[in-house]
Amino acid sequence: MLGLPPKASELQFIDKGRVDLARVRTQFAGTADPLIAGMDVSGGGQRQECHPLPRGLNGRVRDPITLPGDADPDRNQRVGICAELLRETDPAKRIAALFIDAAFGAPIAVRLQGLGFTNVYEVSFGGASPKAYQANMRAYMYSEMKDWLNLGSVFDDDVLCDQLIASGYHINRGGKLVLEPKESVLARMGADACMDDADAFALTFAQPVAPAQPPSSGGRQRPKRRGKWS
């Protein structure tokens, strides 16, 4: 089947109705809620996303950052963008934790950790789930994201929302949730398909995060740059 799944299907893990409500819902964050970011790093030219998740249930606190992989083959620009985010001192914009996909993002995580950022974590989508009823971390994070979408608000963005509803699922013989393989989703969605936005968003659910603390990057405080990331 080419294209997106139907609005309601027993094979569709996150239903379209749930996402549609999150697109129009307005939520407000508490001052103690941490701001979390997820980064799904592609190995080539696909769109990839650094998606700051909201404080609490508000998914529109900060605009996501996108950068094609072929525009930054040595990853220097991506490291710089992440470091700038992590150095932010404004409490309203301070990132409490950054979760990076370990597949292609491990070098970025290592470099950021080498700069002194202790709130950067690698996450393997194929790693073990913290809960017994998901087959791996990918299933766990998407499950947590699905529950959050019941009350959370997301950007009214077709690219993100189409990706959120794209994956199918089944329950294996051990009673564990298994999401449709990413390769299968991409093949069904078409030649230019990408799942980086949804995967980056899912990474922000990798583990609970405490409220943000003032940044520490080798004791250096750089002046904040003005301007909008794109």
Whether residue 164 is contained in a domain is answered as: yes
Confidence band, pLDDT 50/70/90 cuts, at residue 64: confident
* Amino acid identity for residue 184 in this structure: S
Confidence band, pLDDT 50/70/90 cuts, at residue 31: confident
Whether residue 185 is contained in a domain is answered as: yes
Whether residue 5 is contained in a domain is answered as: no
Under a CB-based contact definition with an 8 Å cutoff, are residues 166 and 198 in contact?
yes
Decide: helix, strand or coil at residue 49: strand
Under a CB-based contact definition with an 8 Å cutoff, are residues 187 and 61 in contact?
no
Pick 10 or 84 by higher pLDDT: 84
Pick 134 or 187 by higher pLDDT: 134
Whether residue 47 is contained in a domain is answered as: yes
pLDDT at 168: 95
Structural domain for 198, as ranges: 16-25+33-203
- pLDDT value at 1 more than 60: no
pLDDT at 221: 42
Identify which of 190, 195, 93, 193 has the alpha carbon closest to the alpha carbon of residue 138. 195
Confidence band, pLDDT 50/70/90 cuts, at residue 229: very low
Pick 63 or 229 by higher pLDDT: 63
pLDDT at 227: 30
Under a CB-based contact definition with an 8 Å cutoff, are residues 153 and 130 in contact?
no
Report phi then psi at 101, rounded to 5.
-60, 125
pLDDT at 43: 65
pLDDT tens per residue, range 139-190: 999 999 999 999 999 999 998 999 999 999 999 999 999 999 999 998 888 8
Q: How far apart are CA 90 and CA 109, in angstroms?
A: 23
Whether residue 166 is contained in a domain is answered as: yes
pLDDT tens per residue, range 77-127: 889 989 998 998 888 888 999 999 998 899 999 999 999 999 999 999 999
Total domain count, the chain: 1
**How far from chain centre, in Å, is Cα 38?**
4
Confidence band, pLDDT 50/70/90 cuts, at residue 11: confident
Whether residue 125 is contained in a domain is answered as: yes
CATH of the domain at 66: 3.30.420.240
Whether residue 40 is contained in a domain is answered as: yes
Confidence band, pLDDT 50/70/90 cuts, at residue 194: confident
- pLDDT value at 46 more than 80: no
Q: Specify the range with the lowest mean pLDDT, choosing from 66-75, 98-107, 145-154, 201-210.
A: 66-75
- pLDDT value at 75 more than 80: no
- pLDDT value at 216 more than 60: no
Whether residue 82 is contained in a domain is answered as: yes
Confidence band, pLDDT 50/70/90 cuts, at residue 61: confident
Under a CB-based contact definition with an 8 Å cutoff, are residues 142 and 149 in contact?
no
